[in-house]
Homo-oligomer: A and B are copies of this chain.
Amino acid sequence: MSHPRITLEHVSKQFAAPGAGRTAVLDNVSLTVNEGEFVCLLGPSGCGKSTILNLVAGFEQPDHGRVLLDHRPISEPGPERGMVFQQPMLFPWLTVRDNVTFGPRMTGADKASYQADAERYLQLVGLQDFAEHYPWQLSGGMRQRAALARAWLPKPQTLLMDEPFGALDAQTRLAMQELLTDIWQRTRTTILFVTHDVDEALFLADRVLVMSARPGQIRESLTVPFARPRNPEELLTDSAYGQLKRDILHAVREEAAKSLGLQPA
């Protein structure tokens, strides 16, 4: 259970800035996500969260340090690491159903093996009536849900999720959170999850990582002690919950203020 699935070792990443110089985006970031662990990544806007996911997905290579999956350096993306992007990135030439079944169709799975699952996921994300629609015929939140179903269907060992519920209303979001926990618990997927919502992080995660402002570093790593299954209403009454939330908020706020150039609140 404590076998590390994702490891970042002293990772630094820079991007070419306009003009001559380079912007340091990540600076000596080390982190580990164990097999079957659910880790939430929080941090001020622009601190490098998406960049970390991109490194783990294999889209970018670190300038320094190593990014490992099961102790092996990551060189390219693979279907064992599913990803939900910050933007839905659906394929506009496919219907919602074809978008959702894209993964299994690519890996050559037998149609019978995923068809029932696909319909079930479409149902669960509330798109059963929109299976024949094209992405541009969906609302923002519906697109995000389609992207979720697409990432879930192939049942990857590792899931990288970049603010996947950002465009959803409270109830739909809760439904999706419960769906995700359910999937995660049944399959013991390893999940690295970016969010700005502390409540969401505390409801979902085993551990919360808070990043500092650019150049991003891991500022804090907090274990979430609540027993599962969790209930959002009950959590609110837990005294540890309030404290943890305040700590995290405090950390994020301090960093966000830095990155906005405000006086620390």
Contact = CB atoms under 8 A, between A and B. Distances in A.
Interface of A: 15, 17-19, 42-46, 48-50, 86-87, 95, 123, 126, 128, 132-134, 137-142, 145, 162-163, 166-173, 175, 196-198, 249, 252-253, 255-257, 259-262, 265
Given A170-B196, A175-B260, 9 more contacts: A17-B137, A44-B172, A86-B167, A87-B140, A128-B261, A170-B197, A170-B198, A170-B249, A173-B196
A60 to B, nearest CB: 14
Contacts of A197: 170
A196 B86 CA distance: 17
A50 B169 CA distance: 13
B19 A132 contact: yes
Nearest to A175: B260
Given A50-B140, A126-B261, A139-B46, A171 B253 contact: yes
Contacts of A87: 87, 140
Contact of A45 (B48, B172, B255): B172
Contacts of A261: 123, 126, 128
A265 to B, nearest CB: 7
B172 A142 contact: no
A256 B172 contact: yes
Nearest to A162: B140
A176 to B, nearest CB: 9
Nearest to A123: B261
Given A46-B138, A261-B128, A169 B123 contact: no
A179 to B, nearest CB: 10
Nearest to A138: B46
Given A50-B140, A142-B46, A126 B196 contact: no
Nearest to A265: B171
Contact of A126 (B50, B138, B168, B259): B259
A231 to B, nearest CB: 12
Given A17-B133, A133-B18, A260-B175, A252 B170 contact: yes
A171 B256 contact: yes
Q: Which of A48, A162, A259 has the most CB of B within 10 A?
A: A259
A246 to B, nearest CB: 11
Contacts of A168: 45, 196
Given A15-B137, A86-B140, A140-B86, A43 B169 contact: yes
A232 to B, nearest CB: 11
